[in-house]
Amino acid sequence: MLMLLIAGALLVTGCGAEPGQTGAGSTSEPTETPTSPGSPASGVPSPTASQPLPTPSATGSQVQVPATLLEQIRADAAQRAGVTPDAVQVVSSTAQTWNDGSLGCPKPGENYIQVMIDGFQVIVQAGGRTYDYRTSQTGIKLCEK
């Protein structure tokens, strides 16, 4: 299923390219198909926006995270910390290209798809605790190390 989504995204990206131009330079962007909620183990829902995540221009660069993702991150951190979403402070947000489906936060004994994944790392503070969230095109997860 995931391979079909990846193949579809590549196909859509290439469709907007002008003659002699690859999909990477195209001005058309693939649309995101709504997916089921995030992994049951993470307890974090998937983004519901119809816009795809922007492709990071430089891994590790400070960026503005799409509002829908940031709202979900704040809501999850607030619930975990027992505070209101307004009390959640963003410490940092960086564009990332993850090396695999673990989004840079593998769990021992689990296998992950081996594909480059664009997304963000968002560090927030709430209720005196720091939370490390990782995002992809299909969802967010809390990295618990």
The residue ranges of every structural domain in the chain are: 1-30, 35-142
Q: How far apart are CA 45 and CA 26, in angstroms?
A: 30
The tokens of 2 are what?
């995931």
CB-based contacts of 108, cutoff 8 Å, min separation 6: none
Give mean pLDDT, residues 83-112: 95
Measured CA to CA in angstroms, residue 57 lies from 5, 72, 118 at distances of 22, 23, 10
Burial pattern 122-139, b for ≥16 Cβ within 10 A else e, equals bbbebeeeebbbbbbbbb
DSSP string covering 3-33: HHHHHHHHHHHHHTPPTT--GGG-S--PPPP
Which tens digits make up the pLDDT trace of 19-63? 444 444 433 333 333 333 343 344 444 444 444 444 444 445 567
Query: Does the predicted TM-score (pTM) go above 0.85?
Result: no
At residue 109, the pLDDT reads: 94
Give mean pLDDT, residues 69-93: 96
Which tens digits make up the pLDDT trace of 108-140? 999 999 999 999 999 999 999 999 999 997 789
Q: Which of 27, 25, 21, 23 is nearest to 8 (CA)?
A: 23
Q: How far apart are CA 24 and CA 19, in angstroms?
A: 13
